[in-house]
Amino acid sequence: MSEEGEQNIDGQDTDVGVGTLTDAEEKNAKPPMYRVIMHNDDYTIMEFVVEVLVKIFQKSRNDAARIMLQVHKEGKATAGVYTYDIAHTKVQSVHTIAKTHEYPLRCTIRQEP
């Protein structure tokens, strides 16, 4: 046995993957998650924010109202946590519907630690 690891009869290392993820581990690793943050502004009406949270983020009316009030009082709140593609799509949907209704409502995404 050498210091580099075990070798098979052909003299090749048998310690494949030591210190790295195997293919199975990579496939099973959880994808990074992203927080969608909704920001307050002085123009978007509260009822519209609730509707956006219900339609785009599938929140109940009670949860949507709670999140909307947090946005209003604290300046921002988390609308949800998703994989990057879903978070990005939801942000784009918010911006599109807000623009259609002539509101400056904005969302951003931030990667979870």
Q: 37-90: per-residue pLDDT in tens? A: 999 999 999 999 999 999 999 999 999 999 999 999 999 999 999 999 999 999
> What stretch of H or E contains 107?
strand 106-111
Residue 106 has pLDDT above 80, yes or no: yes
Contact 53, 68 (CB under 8 A): yes
Mean pLDDT of the chain: 87
Contact 52, 59 (CB under 8 A): no
Residue 2 has pLDDT above 50, yes or no: no
Q: Determine how many CB atoms are found less than 10 A away from the CB of residue 102.
A: 8
